[in-house]
């Protein structure tokens, strides 16, 4: 199954566009950085976003912030450098 197709058709998440916010910070993201992505998601753009960051040391706090966005039907996943490196290694190994 195609991931983005599934968002719309299996989970009824409005996502004609996927908003990706990249943060090149060495520290954990503040509320304002997360709020920037939340603010970009809407009924015209779409309600699914990806937050890319260098690293996250307090996963629980970020996850709580992202759960808070769910109350407004805004779905956000996050990815960090190490995740991207793993994906590239998987690609390289075939």
Domain that holds residue 81: 3-93
Is the model's pLDDT at 1 over the cut of 70? no
Residues 68-88, mean pLDDT to the nearest whole number:
96
* Cα 43 from Cα 23, distance rounded (Å): 24
Residue pair 78/66 in contact by the 8 Å Cβ criterion: yes
DSSP 40-94: H-BTTTBSEEEEEES--S-HHHHHHHHHHHHTTT-EEEEEEHHHHHHHHHHHHH-
Domain count, the chain: 1
Is the model's pLDDT at 12 over the cut of 80? yes
Residues 20-46, mean pLDDT to the nearest whole number:
93
Instruction: State the CATH number of the domain containing residue 84.
Output: 3.40.1350.10
Residues 16-22, mean pLDDT to the nearest whole number:
96
* Cα 13 from Cα 26, distance rounded (Å): 32
pLDDT digits (tens, 9 = 90+) for 47-63: 999 999 999 999 999 99
């Amino acid at each position: 199954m195609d991931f983005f197709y599934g968002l719309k058709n299996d989970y009824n998440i409005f996502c004609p566009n996927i908003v990706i916010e990249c943060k090149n910070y060495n520290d954990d993201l503040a509320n304002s950085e997360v709020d920037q992505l939340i603010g970009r998601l809407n009924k015209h753009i779409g309600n699914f976003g990806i937050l890319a960051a260098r690293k996250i040391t307090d996963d629980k706090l970020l996850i709580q912030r992202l759960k808070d966005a769910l109350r407004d039907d805004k779905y956000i996943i996050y990815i960090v450098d190490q995740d991207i490196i793993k994906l590239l290694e998987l690609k390289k190994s075939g």
